[in-house]
Structure 1
């Protein structure tokens, strides 16, 4: 399990800048409300989610598609709720 120091968290923050305005808005709210409270385990899953293409990520957030990765579900709920 990786441990995320402040430098790693800054890199993750940078990765949340996406090409879709809708995704930027949702992630901006999530980052403001929830990011600092995430555990290292949740951060590792978040990094995996951020590797998804923008369209797929947005579809998961908007519940237009379902993920096959059960690890994503709790974090997607947090993103949606922010």
Structure 2
């Protein structure tokens, strides 16, 4: 997916998600392997409320592929880990 589309896909309707996803896109996404880049693109197709809950450690996605990318994003946010 081209960078411009990723940027707009990472801009969400929630400021909290923008503050997590946009720095991730700039700083971490370029270092990901192709499979994880595809997982991130899959994550962007999810609902904001689901992403918010996953990224703030409220619960985990059921999909194993999404679990992996959510963990990568969580590990790179600088936010405390509730585990």
Same fold (TM over 0.5): yes
Structure 1 residue 30 corresponds to structure 2 residue 24 = yes
Q: TM-score, normalised by structure 1?
A: 0.81
- What's the RMSD between the two structures over aligned residues? 1.4
Q: Mark the runs of 5 or more structure 2 residues left unpaired by the alignment.
A: 77-83
Higher RCO (CA < 8 A, seq sep 6+): 1
Q: Mark the runs of 5 or more structure 1 residues left unpaired by the alignment.
A: none
Equivalent pairs, count: 76
Distance 1:63 1:20 in 2: 17
Q: TM-score, normalised by structure 2?
A: 0.80
Name segments (4+ residues, structure 1) moved above 3 Å. none
For residue 18 of structure 1, give the secondary structure of its aligned residue in structure 2.
Answer: coil
